[in-house]
Amino acid sequence: EAGVAQSPRYKIIEKRQSVAFWCNPISGHATLYWYQQILGQGPKLLIQFQNNGVVDDSQLPKDRFSAERLKGVDSTLKIQPAKLEDSAVYLCASSSLAGGATGELFFGEGSRLTVL
């Protein structure tokens, strides 16, 4: 079974530029999460989708971050314009409907963003 795919793995940009990250969850997984993990900290939930609807985006900085999950499958997270404090690993995770309740999240390898 293929895991959660993310791209790009690494991205270096200048502040005020834009960047987009892509995630393809495990086939059949209804729930998709985007987390931001700053070095030395735990993952912080940015947005949670169930199918193509948003369940929770309360911690998404909506003035600069946006995310979409068209057709309830893959998802894109965009940052525009980027700030220095956005330097982090962006983790995508997915779960089945049952798995979301049981905590079984499957993570991709992450996309490491460096903002200069």
Partner 1 sequence: QKEVEQNSGPLSVPEGAIASLNCTYSDRVSQSFFWYRQYSGKSPELIMSIYSNGDKEDGRFTAQLNKASQYVSLLIRDSQPSDSATYLCAVNGNYGQNFVFGPGTRLSVLP
Q: Which of 83, 97, 114, 116 binds partner 1 (CB under 8 A)?
A: 97
Phi, psi torsion values for 106, nearest 5 degrees: -110, 125
Does 33 sit near partner 1 (CB under 8 A)?
yes
Question: Smallest distance, Å, CB 95 to partner 1?
Answer: 7
Stretch that binds partner 1, among 16-24, 63-71, 74-82, 91-99 (CB under 8 A): 91-99
Q: Return the exposure string of 64-86: e unless at least 16 CB atoms fall within 10 Å of the residue's CB, then b.
A: ebbbebeeeeebebebeebeeeb
Question: Smallest distance, Å, CB 48 to partner 1?
Answer: 7
